């Protein structure tokens, strides 16, 4: 097996970009309204449909590249993943609507916080890394007072993936809309927008699809569009301008955007999505799963504790508790002395845990080398670890 040399960059996004993606971004600027940019948008839309696991579209302008033969369309959004989620939430709900947001980490909590700006929220807060109590969610849905359930599908802060299929089934039974923050799931682990009847979902370029930071996308079905349109026509829409969904929708058929698009970022992301197409979506899911399973088993065998519940550990990020006597000094030494980057924890877990990303185009060789360096760094901090065959875990 080829060895990985150079630094190891194992963070759960932004991830490293392929040279082809970087080269595409270095293309001389084109106008935002000409035919060349429409070609870029069409290619990007077709790649987005692939990453969202939707039916295909042609990467050609004037062919409705944002649509397919399912009920879903895709739309690129200038801004990071948060802008895409804000576009969904702010346009879809009226100030008087009530939504249900169960959370078990920082990004779910952010979804709840964002919803509070635009509508009423029932926020059910579980401990970070603990699976949702589906019985409790079902009891809530039985009340039939919720316009939608919103979840952070893959909780990057605590390394847990929600049981989206089970929640989707409940939402269908209680005729409640289901909305996903898929920012670190879409493109990296199995997401089935169509069969889960997801009304809208957001993804960020810089995560599982290894695109540039600062551009994101949403997918949505006709119900989402109809609701946003009705709310706007009734003049009940939340105050927003830049992220107005209906303005953007009107430009979709022409492969256009209402404001100046992130031209070079779109070029780079379209290329990154071509690389995803070449690898194959399921192959990417499988690679992410193989890398994360390897990391999880290796650290568990060495006596480390993982934060997330065993049955729902994420394929794109693993949250590992520091052993006694170790803190974030380990992480800075790992970066400075071992040229390997992982990420720390957020909020109350700061300094108590680290997170290893297994998304984007990360190779097995890089993960193996990175894990060896992590173990060496723990040893250099006085934490005893036996010699192990790291390769055998992958
Ligand atoms: C699950 C999840 N949601 C939302 C965000 C915020 O996305 P962005 O930083 O692209 O705005 C992140 C970023 O790490 C995330 O992991």
Query: Domain segments of the chain: what residues?
Result: 8-15+281-393, 19-278
Q: Which two tokens stand for residue 278?
A: 């070449």
Are 335 and 351 spatial neighbours (Cβ–Cβ below 8 Å)? Answer: no
Q: Which two tokens stand for residue 361?
A: 């185009």
Please tell me the CATH code under which domain 19-278 is placed.
3.40.640.10
By three-state DSSP, how is residue 288 classified?
helix
Would you say the CB of residue 41 lies under 6 angstroms from ligand 1? Answer: no
Are 34 and 380 spatial neighbours (Cβ–Cβ below 8 Å)? Answer: no
Residue 392 Cα to ligand 1 midpoint, Å, equals 32
Sign for the pseudo-dihedral over CA of 341, 346, 349, 355: negative
Angle, helix 222-233 to helix 245-252, in steps of 10 degrees: 120
Would you say the CB of residue 368 lies under 6 angstroms from ligand 1? Answer: no
Q: Which of 78, 88, 107, 211 to mutate to test the pocket of ligand 1 (most atoms within 8 A of CB)?
A: 107
Residue 12 Cα to ligand 1 midpoint, Å, equals 10
Q: Which of 162, 184, 211 to mutate to test the pocket of ligand 1 (most atoms within 8 A of CB)?
A: 184
Residue 202 Cα to ligand 1 midpoint, Å, equals 10
Q: Please report, in tens digits, the pLDDT of each residue of the chain (394 residues total).
A: 678 989 999 999 999 999 999 999 999 999 999 999 999 999 999 999 999 999 999 999 999 999 999 999 999 999 999 999 999 999 999 999 999 999 999 999 999 999 999 999 999 999 999 999 999 999 999 999 999 999 999 999 999 999 999 999 999 999 999 999 999 999 999 999 999 999 999 999 999 999 999 999 999 999 999 999 999 999 888 889 999 999 999 999 999 999 999 999 999 999 999 999 999 999 999 999 999 999 999 999 999 999 999 999 999 999 999 999 999 999 999 999 999 999 999 999 999 999 999 999 999 999 999 999 999 999 999 999 999 999 999 9
Would you say the CB of residue 51 lies under 6 angstroms from ligand 1? Answer: no
Give the C-alpha separation, 31 to 233, whole Å: 32
Query: For residue 8, what pLDDT is reported?
Result: 98
Q: Which of 14, 76, 82 to mutate to test the pocket of ligand 1 (most atoms within 8 A of CB)?
A: 82
CA distances from 332 to 88, 158, 231, 306, 349 (A): 37, 20, 49, 21, 17
Phi-psi region of 40 (alpha: psi -120 to 50; beta: other; left: phi over 0): alpha
Residue 142 Cα to ligand 1 midpoint, Å, equals 31
DSSP alpha helices (H): ranges in the chain? 19-25, 35-51, 81-92, 106-118, 134-142, 164-173, 222-233, 245-252, 263-279, 281-301, 329-338, 364-380
Q: Which CATH architecture has domain 8-15+281-393?
A: Alpha-Beta Complex (3.90)
Residue 300 contacts by C-beta under 8 Å, 6 or more apart in sequence?
A: 306
Would you say the CB of residue 185 lies under 6 angstroms from ligand 1? Answer: no
Would you say the CB of residue 81 lies under 6 angstroms from ligand 1? Answer: yes
Are 55 and 68 spatial neighbours (Cβ–Cβ below 8 Å)? Answer: yes
Phi-psi region of 128 (alpha: psi -120 to 50; beta: other; left: phi over 0): beta
Helix, strand and coil percent figures for the chain, each rounded to 5: 40, 15, 40
Q: What number of residues does the chain have? A: 394
Would you say the CB of residue 152 lies under 6 angstroms from ligand 1? Answer: yes
Protein residue closest via CA to atom 8 of ligand 1: 81
Residue 11 Cα to ligand 1 midpoint, Å, equals 13
CA distances from 52 to 49, 216, 251, 351 (A): 5, 12, 21, 35
């Amino acid at each position: 097996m080829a060895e990985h040399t150079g630094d190891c960059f194992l963070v759960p996004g932004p991830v490293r970009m392929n040279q082809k993606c970087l080269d595409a971004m270095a293309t001389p600027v084109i106008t935002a309204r000409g035919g060349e940019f429409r070609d870029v948008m069409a290619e990007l839309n077709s790649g987005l449909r692939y990453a969202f696991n939707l039916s295909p579209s042609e990467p050609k302008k004037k062919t409705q590249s944002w649509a397919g033969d399912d009920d879903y369309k895709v739309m690129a959004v200038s801004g990071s993943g948060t802008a895409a989620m804000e576009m969904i939430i702010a346009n879809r709900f009226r100030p008087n609507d009530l939504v249900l947001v169960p959370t078990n980490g920082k990004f779910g909590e952010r979804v709840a916080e964002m919803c509070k700006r635009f509508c009423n929220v029932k926020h059910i807060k579980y401990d970070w890394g603990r699976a949702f109590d589906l019985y409790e969610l079902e009891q809530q849905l039985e009340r039939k007072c919720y316009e939608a359930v919103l979840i952070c599908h893959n909780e990057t802060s605590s390394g847990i993936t929600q049981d989206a299929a089970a929640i989707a089934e409940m939402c269908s039974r209680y005729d409640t809309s289901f909305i996903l923050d898929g920012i670190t799931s879409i493109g990296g682990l199995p997401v089935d927008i169509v069969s889960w009847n997801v009304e809208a979902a957001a993804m960020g370029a810089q995560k599982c699809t290894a695109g540039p930071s600062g551009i994101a996308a949403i997918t949505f079905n006709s119900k989402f569009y109809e609701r946003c349109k009705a709310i706007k026509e009734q003049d009940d829409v939340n105050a927003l301008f830049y992220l107005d969904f209906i303005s953007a929708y009107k430009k979709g058929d022409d492969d256009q955007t209402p404001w100046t698009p992130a031209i070079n970022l779109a070029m780079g992301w379209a290329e990154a999505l071509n690389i995803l197409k070449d690898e194959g979506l399921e192959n990417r899911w499988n690679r992410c799963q193989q890398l994360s399973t390897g990391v999880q088993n290796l650290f568990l065998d060495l006596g480390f504790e993982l934060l997330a519940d065993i049955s729902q550990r994420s394929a794109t990020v693993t949250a590992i508790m520091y052993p006694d006597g170790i803190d974030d000094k380990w992480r800075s030494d790992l970066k400075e002395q071992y040229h390997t980057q992982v990420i720390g924890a957020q909020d109350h877990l700061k300094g108590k845990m680290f997170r290893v990303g297994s998304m984007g185009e990360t190779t097995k060789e890089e993960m193996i080398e990175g894990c060896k360096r992590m173990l060496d760094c723990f040893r250099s901090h006085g934490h005893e670890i036996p010699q192990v065959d790291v390769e055998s875990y992958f």
